[in-house]
Every structure is written in structure tokens, then in C-alpha cells.
Chain A
């Protein structure tokens, strides 16, 4: 056997080994199988629903028949650099929504990006942040979704090239992206700051747009909220560091008012690039939560 042939054979073997390794590494690891369930606190569930801006992505397509724009029956296109998604129906319709999902199915989707069938969701669904939401809160959120009127609206398949293989590839990416630990309460800070930190880093998924990513699209916690390229290519997302120190907002109370009312109240730079929907949802939170978010944001330097 010539050296060239040997090299080719070795290369081929390595490649095959690589493919096998990738296939193994990308396999979805089993999620949780059972979650203790109590009676859901629907008011808390609603707060999480707004904090997470679920409706922003899971809204029905404009003018879709038999849907209600205020209900998350899904179907509106959500464009990303990998393709267009049509985020699914979150109402409790048993056929087309999540009516038949167990509590464990829901927790696996939200915290591990795993579907009930065991496939990977794309991180266009921001489970990269939702995984920091406490299980009790997830169960209240599930309870709230189950309390909504069911809407029949079948999901449209995502328009992503090589969808099946690409989903498997997400498994490799998750090994890098879901490694970093995220939010941990800081006992040195007060309850409002900690509440704000939780809402921003968990349900609020603010880092998804405001934190820069590396070449593999993994968020860089060391540069948390320092501003980033817009994930869907709409220019630059501004930094959330030093918002009060830089004089963008007069004080914490002014920032809280801005989060609640946005450009409707003459504040600037709270509408473009998807921020309008987020801000609208923040406006639906209890006032104390808007204040907590403002307190946490103002502390970011």
C-alpha cells in the first residue's frame, strides 16, 4: 500500500470515526421523566408568561383565520439566519397545541430544548435562558397556558434546510452552549435586585440579544449585556451596562418607567429590532417587577 493510499485510508477512518462521534455526541440525552405537580399559581404563571414574552414569538400570523391575536396559537413567521420558524401552538388544544403534554414534557422543552419525541429544538426558542427559570415557576407557567382557551391551529414545519440533520447538529452545539452556569442569587444584594436578576437572566431572556456571542454563536457571559450584533441581522443591539451612569436614564425610577411605557412615553431606542414586543410585555408585569428589573440593570457596569 502506498503512503498516499494509507493516508487516505487513515483519513477516511478518522472521518468515519468523527461522524460516529458526532452522532453519539449529538444524541439527545434523556430529560426528566417526572415532575412533582401541585396546584398552579395562575397569577404567577401569567407574570412569567409576560416576562418571557411568549406571545411575541408564538402569536398567530397576521390575519390568520379562527385565531385570536392575544392567544399564543402560533404560526407567525420567525425569521432567523438558519431559516424561518413558525413557533408552535401553546394553547391547550389536545391535537394541535400542548394539551396532551405532561409537566415533564414542558420542563424538558423549556430547560433542555428537548421535544416530547426526544429531538432537539433550535435555540431560536430561547431555552438557553429559560433553563434558569425555577421548576415551580415553570409549572405555574404551564398552569397558566393550560387555563387559556384552546385554539385549533396546526404547526407549520420550520423552513430550515436539512431540518432533521440540522436538529441533530443542535445537539453538538448544546454541549458548548448549555455548559456555562448562569444565574445564581447574590446574598449580598437585596431581594429586589435578586428578583430583577432572575427575571432578566431567566424568563426575560434579555441576554439573547444584548450579550455578544462567539463564532460558534455561544453567548459570552464575561461580556454580559455589553451590546451585540442583532441576532437576525438588524444592526446593533445596544449595551445595557451603565444605563443610568451614562445618563441614558435619569435614575432607576426613570428606567423603570421607560421599561413599562417605552416609546409610547417618548423614550428613545425601545422599539426597533424586536425590542417593541419585549417592552410591551414588560409593561404588563407588576410594577414591582419592572422596578426590580430596572434596579438590576442599573447595577450592570
Chain B
């Protein structure tokens, strides 16, 4: 009886300790897996608005291109800090391949190049220059997902 009381006490203490630790890490910053997924989803949404022009579902509008490619560039740049070592798993399912961590430099270079392509796209003012700049940005998404992301399902 005595022993089991001790066990319960120890369990309670460690539960509190874990709770405190959990609170501390939550305060230190949100889950990077969730953060980068949210950022990538924002990138995807913004990029689709520009894609509608390429697919001829919307008329060319330099303002739409500018606003959305700036979001793409900013969010991809933000992703640079969202693949810290040890963030292979998180509160949501990660699609990051092990290469994101074993070849962090390659991933960072890819993110920077993609952000640069999006910046280039944001400066496009005429329709003739749009499609090549758009394709350059889109190819950078495709190339990185080929190397660094696993399929969702």
C-alpha cells in the first residue's frame, strides 16, 4: 500500500514536471512542423491565384501577380527557420523527407532560389513577360517537392 502511494506520488510529480516542460516549450515557439505546413499552405494558396492567370481562368492583372508573389516570397523565406534539426515530426503529419535535415544546405538554397524566382515574378508588369517568370517560379516548387517532400497520400 505504502509503496503504491509512493508510486502514485512519483507519477503525479513527473506529470506536473512534464506539464511544466510542455508549457515552457510551447512558450518558446509553436511547433515548427505546423508552422511550416501553414506557411506552405499560404504559399500554395497565393500561388494558385497567380496560376489562374496562366491557366487563362483569370485576366492578367499585374497587381494580383505582385501581391501574391510577394506573399510567396515572404513565406518561403520564413520557411528557412522552420526546418530545425529534430523537427522530423510534430503535432501534424510532416511530409518532409529525411533529406530536409541531412541536406539542410540544399533545402535552404532551394528555398532561397524559389523566393528569388517569386520576387522576379512580382516585378512583372506586362503580359508577355508573365508566363516565363511564372513558369520559373512554378518549376522551383516542383523541383524541391521532387527532392525533399514525400507524397501526402
Query: Which residues does A use to contact B, with CB under 8 Å?
Result: 227, 230, 234-238, 257, 261-277, 279
CB distance from A77 to the nearest CB of B (A): 14
Residues in A neighbouring B103, C-beta threshold 8 A: none
Please tell me which one of the listed residues A261, A269, A277 contacts residue B151 in the complex, with CB atoms under 8 A apart.
A269
Q: Is the CB of B150 within 8 A of A234?
A: yes
Q: Is the CB of B54 within 8 A of A265?
A: yes
CB distance from A151 to the nearest CB of B (A): 24
CB distance from A251 to the nearest CB of B (A): 12
Q: Is the CB of B151 within 8 A of A263?
A: no
B138 on the A face (CB < 8 A):
yes
CB distance from B24 to the nearest CB of A (A): 33
Q: Is the CB of A268 within 8 A of B151?
A: no
- Binary interface encoding of chain B residues 69-100 relative to chain A, with 1 for a CB under 8 A from any of its CBs, else 0: 00000000000000000000000000101000
Residues in A neighbouring B44, C-beta threshold 8 A: 266, 268
| Cα distance, A262 to B51, chains bound together (Å) | 11
**Additional pairs, 18, CB under 8 Å, beyond known A266-B50, A275-B151:** A230-B151, A235-B151, A236-B152, A238-B153, A257-B55, A261-B138, A264-B138, A264-B141, A267-B51, A269-B151, A270-B142, A272-B149, A272-B150, A272-B152, A273-B151, A274-B146, A276-B142, A277-B146
Q: Is the CB of B142 within 8 A of A262?
A: yes
B59 on the A face (CB < 8 A):
no
CB distance from A272 to the nearest CB of B (A): 4
CB distance from B99 to the nearest CB of A (A): 11
CB distance from B121 to the nearest CB of A (A): 12
| Cα distance, A238 to B47, chains bound together (Å) | 23
Q: Is the CB of A266 within 8 A of B47?
A: yes
Q: What are the 3 closest A-B residue pairs judged by CB atoms, nearest first?
A: A266-B51, A264-B138, A276-B146
Please tell me which one of the listed residues B55, B95, B149, B152 contacts residue A265 in the complex, with CB atoms under 8 A apart.
B55
Q: Is the CB of B55 within 8 A of A263?
A: no
CB distance from A255 to the nearest CB of B (A): 12
| Cα distance, A274 to B151, chains bound together (Å) | 9
| Cα distance, A274 to B97, chains bound together (Å) | 13
Q: Is the CB of A263 within 8 A of B142?
A: yes
Residues in B neighbouring A234, C-beta threshold 8 A: 97, 150-151
A233 and chain B: residue at smallest CB distance: B150
Question: Which of B145, B150, B152, B153 has the most chain A CB atoms closer than 10 A to its own CB?
Answer: B145
B139 on the A face (CB < 8 A):
yes
B22 on the A face (CB < 8 A):
no
Given A265-B55, A277-B146; A272-B151 close (CB under 8 Å): yes
A234 and chain B: residue at smallest CB distance: B150
Please tell me which one of the listed residues B55, B146, B153 contacts residue A235 in the complex, with CB atoms under 8 A apart.
B153
Pairs A–B under 8 Å by Cβ, sample size 12: A236-B152, A238-B152, A261-B138, A262-B142, A266-B44, A270-B142, A271-B145, A272-B151, A273-B150, A273-B151, A276-B143, A277-B146
Q: Is the CB of B138 within 8 A of A263?
A: yes
Residues in B neighbouring A273, C-beta threshold 8 A: 150-151
| Cα distance, A262 to B47, chains bound together (Å) | 13
| Cα distance, A227 to B141, chains bound together (Å) | 24
| Cα distance, A236 to B51, chains bound together (Å) | 27
Please tell me which one of the listed residues A257, A267, A272 contacts residue B146 in the complex, with CB atoms under 8 A apart.
A272
Given A257-B55, A266-B51; A237-B143 close (CB under 8 Å): no
B52 and chain A: residue at smallest CB distance: A266
Given A257-B55, A266-B50; A271-B153 close (CB under 8 Å): no
| Cα distance, A268 to B138, chains bound together (Å) | 11
Given A235-B153, A238-B151, A238-B153; A264-B139 close (CB under 8 Å): yes
